[in-house]
Amino acid sequence: MIKEYAYAKINLALEVMDVKDGYHMVNNLMIPIDLYDELTFEPNDKIELINNEFEDNIILKAAKLFISKYNINSGVKITLEKNIPSAAGLAGGSSDAAATLRGLNKLFNNVASHDELLDLGAELGSDVPFFIDTKLALCTNRGEVVNKVDADAHVFDLLLIKPKTGLSTKEVYKNYIYDNVSKKEKIDNIITAIKYCDTFSLKKNIFNDLTKTALNLNTELNTIYNDLKKHTDIYLSGSGPTMFIINPDKDVVAYIEKNYKDCFIKKCKTKKL
């Protein structure tokens, strides 16, 4: 039996640009966090996913793609322990898909090279290649080109807050309008701040081009975000609706736990790289 951990991520920078070949071009700086799903893999006579909540699950797509690609004459039984909330902007599905590719590659004697795993991941979704290695990286093009950042990143405490209502990634991108402003300097500043554990500069430069659009599309998210903005620096992950706070103050944590009990609230950390 093979076990894989599928880590969530947050976006420290998400620059969304014009559409090319049907996809928005992005500069997406992502860092993994220590919230994860657990997947186990065992040989089986068919492809089977235990604890499957979705009919069209990306884990099953990944397993079918891998087994078809390498003409494997076997199935697999996959058991999923889900801890990352779905449709949250934390890329739990993409991370599960990458963990499936890694797990099956180990189960079937490493038939795929590292580059082949990246290519398979790109077939499944733009964020999937990032999770093949799950390291701090600037992902470009439509998000599938992974440029690892050479940084011995320090660990930061995080607080995640996800409202009950969700957001459609497709709708957020559909309603987004590019402002034609380059964010390269901010991205460079964020990478430097991570390397030197400069929390002040990190908080000052974090950005997400989708924030305004997401807030306009979700009233609950808008209300919570603008309330918490009065108390602390708060940021949106991905297309939302999960928000995060870096090194949160105890009083702020207490305020959130008291006033937003219906939300998913999770204390965690950036994953040591």
Q: Which residues are catalytic?
A: 9, 127
Q: How far apart are CA 169 and CA 127, in angstroms?
A: 13
Q: How far is CA 185 from CA 3, 13, 188, 205, in A?
A: 40, 11, 5, 9
Residue 48 makes CB contacts below 8 A (sequence gap 6+) with: 75, 76, 77, 78
User: For residue 176, which of 208, 224, 138, 140 has the smallest C-alpha distance?
Assistant: 208
Q: How far is CA 259 from CA 21, 79, 104, 235, 262, in A?
A: 44, 36, 43, 18, 9
Are 225 and 161 within 8 A, CB to CB?
Answer: no
Please state the separation of Cα 127 from the chain's center in Å.
7
CA-only gyration radius of the chain, Å: 19
